A = this chain, B = another copy of it.
Amino acid sequence: MLEFAILGLLQERSMHGYQLKQRLADALGPFWQVSYGSLYPALKRLQKQGAVEMVFPKAEVGRRKNVYRITEHGQELFAELGESTQEDSDDNGFRVRLAFFRHLKPEARIGVMERRRAVLVDRLRELKDRLASYRERVDGYTLSLMRHGMDTTEHDIRWLDDMIQAERRASRSGRKRRAPKKGVRA
């Protein structure tokens, strides 16, 4: 997911590590913060596989800045990671994807959201089963935790449904007339 996020940011414009960290904190807000201990190694990995490249490898004067630019292979990797089913059950993984949704194809967006929905439906079912199975033999706090988890999951599913519907609407009208104005309503 970190690689995906980096590539997503570099898609807008080339940046160096410090900027990436700032823009990431800005985009994901309080949901996800990355450390330099993850960021710089991730950049090196991406560079090694040719997904990003340095713009000014060595500036002779002043402070050293390693500005990275995304390559064509990086673009492909971004799309691939965005549609990958590997991180579907990771809550933050979906948030990260959502933050860069605008760079994915509409069909891919719907696919991601529907897979996410399936994960949440699974989770809801597991919570329901669990709650039914150990009624009475569990303390009030755990019970409350499970019930709140159910509420939250149901809320999330409704949210997804709205977004999927909006995406389909935009997709349909987008085929007839250009550009459906702004975006998704929460």
Interface residues of A (CB under 8 A from B): 27, 29-31, 95, 98-99, 101-102, 123, 126-127, 130, 139-149, 151-152, 155-156, 159, 163, 182-186
Contacts and interface: CB of A to CB of B under 8 A. Distances in A.
A139 B126 CA distance: 34
Nearest to A159: B148
Copies of this chain per assembly: 2
B27 A142 contact: yes
B99 A140 contact: no
A159 B152 CA distance: 11
A98 B145 CA distance: 7
A171 B160 CA distance: 40
Given A30-B123, A30-B126, A127-B30, A102 B159 contact: no
A155 to B, nearest CB: 7
Contacts of A139: 101-102, 183
